[in-house]
Amino acid sequence: MIKTVLIILLGVFFLVNGINHFYNSHIVREYAEKRGLFEPKVMVFLSGLLLVFGGLSMITGYFIIEGMIGLCIFMTIAAFTIHSFWKEEDREDKMMEFMNFVKNWAIIFELVYLTTTVESKLGLF
């Protein structure tokens, strides 16, 4: 029971962040442009879709494995393209991006663990 509640809450986290990608797309896009992301407008839209799909899959339990795999892909790409701390010159920026880089990997590890312990209601796996 507690595991189900925690998975749902994690899904809400991703869903809210995905909605934010659409609601505040201009801010997210500006940040992506600043970080040198290829095609920021398209990437912000695609990442928003992945976050919403992944969040909804965790909340509903439908296609949950596929949703978590999509979230892992998004988090990995974001870690290396958006939070590339090694490119930063400013010490504070470097520290902030490093914390986000490590946070992404902590979330990825949690998602990988969860994919090995949950069953999808309608999933392909």
Q: What is the pLDDT of residues 1-24, one digit of tens each?
A: 788 889 999 999 999 999 999 999
The answer to the question of residue 70 being in a domain is yes
The answer to the question of residue 59 being in a domain is yes
Residue 107 burial (CB count, 10 A): 18
- For residue 105 the two structure tokens come to 């990997």
pLDDT at 1 (0 to 100): 77
pLDDT at 123 (0 to 100): 55
The answer to the question of residue 60 being in a domain is yes
Give me the percent of the chain exceeding a pLDDT of 70.
Answer: 95
Across the range 43-62, mean pLDDT stands at 94
The answer to the question of residue 76 being in a domain is yes
Q: How many domains does the chain have?
A: 1
The answer to the question of residue 92 being in a domain is yes
| pLDDT over threshold 80, residue 90 | yes
Angle between the N-to-C axes of helices 91-115 and 64-81, in degrees from 0 to 180, rounded to the nearest 10:
160
Across the range 35-44, mean pLDDT stands at 89
pLDDT at 92 (0 to 100): 94
Q: Which domain holds residue 105?
A: 2-115
- Residue 83 CA to residue 88 CA, distance in Å, equals 10
| pLDDT over threshold 90, residue 35 | no
**What is the residue-averaged pLDDT of the chain?**
91
- For residue 37 the two structure tokens come to 């992301």
| 52 dihedral zone (left: phi>0; alpha: psi -120 to 50; beta) | alpha
- pTM equals 0.86
The answer to the question of residue 123 being in a domain is no
The answer to the question of residue 6 being in a domain is yes
Across the range 85-91, mean pLDDT stands at 91
